[in-house]
Amino acid sequence: MSARVRKRAPDAPAGSDHASRFYAAVRKIRKGTVASYGEVARMAGLPGRARQVGYALHRLPWDSTVPWHRVVNAKGEIAIGADPDAKREQRRRLEAEGVEFDERGRVVRDDRRS
DNA sequence: ATTCTGACTTGGG
DNA sequence: CCCCAAGCCAGAA
């Protein structure tokens, strides 16, 4: 048979295939700690795709084993807006792991490397 | 096809 | 501390 039609160039990014990559990076986040979307994107080897990380996690099913709740924005705050239920769930899970929040709803980072 | 919005980040003011 | 512009990619209207 003829060569199969190449749907995209070998060097072209594969659209939404990065999801698995992001999930793998999120799994690496140690319990009781948090990482920003940008950090996750960087860990996944895709710097600059922070927004896509959020999108990938948004589509993540509730029965997933991926610790999506350990991902917050650069300000250390929960980035969810249009889903107060999920937002509350994230905070609940983090507090269950020992993560503290300040009055403004920002994560208090314990680990302070100096 | 085009436009807008979004679980974002970084840098400058 | 807050606000804004540019960069990024995917999905909904």
Written as one letter, the residue type at A31 is: K
Cβ within 7 Å of nucleic strand B, residues? A 36-38, 50-51, 53-55, 57-58, 60, 68, 71, 73-75, 79-83, 86, 90
Question: Does residue A9 carry a pLDDT above 70?
Answer: no
Q: Quick one: which H or E segment has residue A7?
A: none
Find the Å distance, CA of residue A4 to C1' of nucleotide B12.
49
User: Which residues, at least 6 apart from A35, have a Cβ–Cβ distance to it below 8 Å?
Assistant: A26, A29, A43, A70, A71, A72
Q: Per-residue confidence at A114, pLDDT binned at 50, 70, 90?
A: very low
Across the range A2-6, mean pLDDT stands at 45
Q: Say yes or no: Cβ of A13 under 7 A from any atom of strand C.
A: yes
The pTM score is 0.81
In the predicted structure, residue A95 carries a pLDDT above the cut 90? yes
pLDDT category, A101, cuts 50, 70, 90? very high
Closest protein residue to B9 (Cα–C1')? A38
Task: Tell me how far apart the alpha carbons of residues A62 and A101 are, in angstroms, rounded to a whole number.
Answer: 23
Work out the pLDDT band at A16, boundaries 50, 70, 90: low
